[in-house]
């Protein structure tokens, strides 16, 4: 999430009541999750296991639960609860409506048809010649391109599935990102695409999604991908261009699939994959799998 205008380190520290280490006028441009950070971003970390990953990431402001040596050119915000204060910063700069208010600040392009039963949030942009079927829900800040088809029951921009355990309960990291649907995308019935925690969940130009597909927060789907029914993609994944995912493929969070890959039905992914064709619970190369099957069948 980028702030509407640059902020100063002291301003952010005062907002959350934290100590800061670094020049008080150190420039802060926004917040982001560790997978997505850029210079000028705040990233939070609340466990020593991940200190180095956060401190030496692209982020230049680290919201951390312990005072540590600060890398050169960076700044620290020292908080007793970085998770809580990350939420506080995000919701200060991005108001969460969750359909409780209708501001009607929606831009709709020429030739677009929207069924009267569709529900549209605030600050939504919809391009030209797009078709939105009955009972579609479009959350705040969603951006939809030209010549897009969104079929019945699909939800764009629901909350990210991102929690921590606190005092025996689940505490949500509030998602202030959005969903971006590029031009010429087709989305089937009853799909759910979560908005980014602090960035965008993106469906690339020309991609086609079947029915009943779940795509997690901050995931980026490339151009001209084909995704069959009941695929589940966790958060922060990167799917290259022209990837085919057949039915019930499951992809764990933070993984990358190279452009041109094909994942056959029920393939499970728990690591980055180079270009190829894969099958099985642990995404085995398809040719290797076939050779193994032949050998097994020939055993006496």
| Catalytic member of 4, 92, 147, 217 | 217
Residue 147 among the catalytic residues: no
Note whether 165 and 129 are within 8 A (CB).
no
Of 141, 121, 13, 19, the closest CA to residue 68 belongs to 19
The Cβ of residue 258 has, within 10 Å, a number of other Cβ atoms equal to: 16
CA distance 243 to 275: 9
Query: Quick one: CA dihedral 176, 166, 162, 18, positive or negative?
Result: positive
Report phi then psi at 222, rounded to 5: -75, -170
Note whether 137 and 118 are within 8 A (CB).
yes
Of 242, 251, 293, 290, the closest CA to residue 273 belongs to 251
CA distance 251 to 276: 16
Which stretches of 59-152 are assigned E, i.e. beta strand? Answer: 61-64, 75-78, 107-108, 113-114, 119-120, 125-126, 131-132, 137-138, 143-144, 149-150
Q: Which residues are catalytic?
A: 217
């Amino acid at each position: 999430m980028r702030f509407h205008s640059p902020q100063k380190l002291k301003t952010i520290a005062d907002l959350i009541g934290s100590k800061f280490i670094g020049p008080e006028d150190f420039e802060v441009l926004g917040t982001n999750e560790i997978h997505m950070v850029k210079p000028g971003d705040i990233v939070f970390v609340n466990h020593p296991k991940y200190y180095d990953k956060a401190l030496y990431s692209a982020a230049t402001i680290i919201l951390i639960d312990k005072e540590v040596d600060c890398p050169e050119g960076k700044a620290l915000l020292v908080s007793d609860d970085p998770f809580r204060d990350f939420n506080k910063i995000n919701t200060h700069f991005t108001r969460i409506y969750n359909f409780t208010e209708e501001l009607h600040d929606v831009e709709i392009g020429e030739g677009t048809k929207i069924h009267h039963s569709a529900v549209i949030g605030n600050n939504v942009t919809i391009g030209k010649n797009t078709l939105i079927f009955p009972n579609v829900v479009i959350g705040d800040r969603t951006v939809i391109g030209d010549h897009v088809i969104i079929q019945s029951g699909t939800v764009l921009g629901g909350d990210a599935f991102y929690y921590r355990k606190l005092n025996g309960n689940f505490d949500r990291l509030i998602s202030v990102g959005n969903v971006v649907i590029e031009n010429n995308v087709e989305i089937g019935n009853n799909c759910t695409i979560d908005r980014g925690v602090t960035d965008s969940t993106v469906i690339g130009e020309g991609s086609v999604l079947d029915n009943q597909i779940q795509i997690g927060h901050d995931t980026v789907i490339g151009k001209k991908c084909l995704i069959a029914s009941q695929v589940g993609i966790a958060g922060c994944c990167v799917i290259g261009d022209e990837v085919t995912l057949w039915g019930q493929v499951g992809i764990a969070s933070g993984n990358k699939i190279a452009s041109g890959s094909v994942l056959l039905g029920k393939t499970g992914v728990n690591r980055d994959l180079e270009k190829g064709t894969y099958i099985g619970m642990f995404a085995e190369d398809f040719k290797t799998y076939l050779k193994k099957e032949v050998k097994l069948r020939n055993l006496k």
